[in-house]
Amino acid sequence: MKDKIQSFGRFLSGMVMPNIGALIAWGLITALFIATGWLPNEELSTMVGPFLSYVIPVLIAFQGGKMVAGQRGAVMGVIATVGVICGEPNYTMLMGAMLMGPLAGWVIKQFDKAVDGKIKAGFEMLVNNFSVGILGMLMAILGFYVIGPVMGAILAVLNGGVDVLVNNNLLPLVSIFVEPAKVLFLNNAINHGIFTPLGAQQVEEMGRSIFYMIETNPGSGTGVILAYWLFSKDKLTRDSAPGALIVHLLGGIHEIYFPYVLMNPLLLLATIGGSVVAMFYNTIFDLGLAGPASPGSIFAYVGMAAKGQTIAVLFSAVIAAAVSFVIAVPIVRLANPKTESLEDATAQMKSMKAESKGETVVAPAKEDTVACPESNDSQDYRDGVLLKKNIILNTTAKTKEEAVKLIGEMFCKCGYTTPKYTEAMLEKEKVFNTYLGNGVSIPHGVEEMRSEILNSGVVVLTSRDGIDWGNGNKANLIVGVASVGDEHMKTLQNIALHCGSPADVEKIINLDVDGVYDIFKG
């Protein structure tokens, strides 16, 4: 059952995640320009409805159809979903798009299989175009008369259930299921399959949604990490906590705290407690976000707050962190340091996440020397993805763009990525600054370009003078990451352990290649 839910969640995530930018754009337009927004503008606010009713469902359907049958499936998904949207205009058809996009893609895929090798030469384009047109029309009609009304009925039931939960102040209890689901990597099915559609519907009606606050609040994980930082008996775990806190709270990478919970599953009580209390607070004060907070950093979480609720939303994260911390402290203090192991928990988490993605877990290689892929060069190497040749001390790169391009060039040279991954890293910097703090940045590509990664690899650059990474921040340690699976988690753990303060980073940038390698080998 867990595997099926994870597989379903992966599929939903694959449709929604590439379009998160569109959801954020819609959320910002809503927060700024509706009548109760920060900058009310009647003309600009007219974009809100079309964005939600047409643009976002069509984008999701396009991606869903493409995942099943490539470009032809994508076009089929769009055609069919327009029928769904028009068939039930009273509801936002995000869920309808999630169903119809892949279904229409599957239909054209079956047609293509049936006629493969049977089309006479010269008629291929005619058959290809008319097959999409005719089958797309039929699917649109099906969507109009069947799928749209059925999805409308389902949404009516879900909205009724939500009303019951909200009216009886029971919505916070959802966190009892969500917090364990996060650690088990089952959250995508819940978040993208239920919370995103319901949140969009609620934003259309109220200008904000509490559903966007359930899974993205960084407070619960923050409380657990703080408890380990201050009270863990294990020095390795305690020393790793400050860096992990930066990655989690500021970077929005919630996976960094999962190993801390897996070391002692009783800490689920802390994350659940923090989330439940914060949700009660959110419910009492009628808080909500204008769009999804992605990634789940404190900046994104507070940045998507509805007008007049910024401080209140920030306090929601503080409450979650405080309650989680109070519950976690005695659990951490009573833990036996001989039985808790951050390294083992990290390995367990990597295995669980690989399973959630349908990947096979492979033990790391044990060779002392490994040839660089597609290269005749070889390098001393132990159990990891970092080669000594990919450590550049005091780089000559003067700008962020130069540093990212250098990392991309090294990735390509060693066969870790295609050249397109360099573009993906540059694109990531445009939408999200990868500077973590303490002079450390971790450039990596946008999620939808992950297919351009051929093998997992890490590149480390140091700069004594520092490279301007935007917003007045200078990066002295730049760790480029390209990860097929979860190998990057070890790198993040090493950053958390060894880069807890500017003084720690200063020590690293003054090391030789062997010293840097010993720190970041994975």
pTM: 0.57
Residue 344 has a pLDDT of: 56
Catalytic residue among 192, 248, 254, 444: 444
The reported pLDDT for the residue numbered 122 is 81
CATH superfamily of 374-520: Mannitol-specific EII; Chain A (3.40.930.10)
Rounded (10°) CA dihedral 32, 37, 38, 40: 80
Say what the pLDDT of residue 337 is. Answer: 57
Question: Which of 192, 248, 254, 372 is the catalytic position?
Answer: 372
Nearest CA to 500 among 239, 299, 266, 280? 239
Tokens of residue 116, six digits: 């493969």
Q: What are the residue ranges in the chain where pLDDT is below 70?
A: 1-10, 13, 162, 166, 184-193, 336-384, 485-490, 522
pLDDT computed for residue 370 by the predictor: 34
Tens digits of residue pLDDT in 138-187? 999 999 999 999 988 887 887 777 677 767 778 888 888 888 877 766 65
Answer yes or no: are the C-beta atoms of 277 and 320 closer than 8 Å: yes
**Integer Rg of the chain from CA:** 24
* Residue whose structure tokens are 């994870």: 6
pLDDT reported for residue 366: 36
DSSP string, 302-350: HHTBPTT-HHHHHHHHHHHHHHHHHHHHHHHHHS-TTT--HHHHHHHHH
Instruction: Give the C-alpha separation, 257 to 384, whole Å.
Output: 21
For 40, phi then psi, to 5°, come to -50, 130
Quote the Cα angle for 103-108-109, to 5°. Answer: 90
For residue 498, indicate whether it is catalytic. no
Domain boundaries, the chain: 43-168, 172-358, 374-520
Distance CA 173, CA 327 (A): 17
Predicted local confidence at residue 34, as pLDDT: 84
Sort strands 474-482 and 440-441 into parallel, antiparallel or unpaired: parallel
Angstrom distances, CA of residue 435 to CA of 229, 245, 466, 467: 22, 14, 12, 11
Closest among 52, 62, 55 to 90, alpha carbons compared: 52
Of 252, 185, 257, nearest in space to 227 by CA: 257
| Alpha carbon separation from 226 to 246, 281, 313 (Å, rounded) | 11, 22, 20
Q: Which two tokens stand for residue 351?
A: 């295995």
User: Torsion over CA of 62, 67, 72 and 77, rounded to 10 degrees?
Assistant: -40
Residue 444 known to be catalytic? yes
Q: What is the pLDDT of residues 413-439, one digit of tens each?
A: 888 888 889 988 998 888 778 888 889
Q: Which residues make Cβ contacts (< 8 Å) with residue 389, sequence separation at least 6?
A: 372, 377, 379
- Compute CA 131 distance to the chain's CA centroid, rounded to the nearest angstrom: 36
Of 48, 33, 15, give the one whose Cα is nearest residue 203.
48
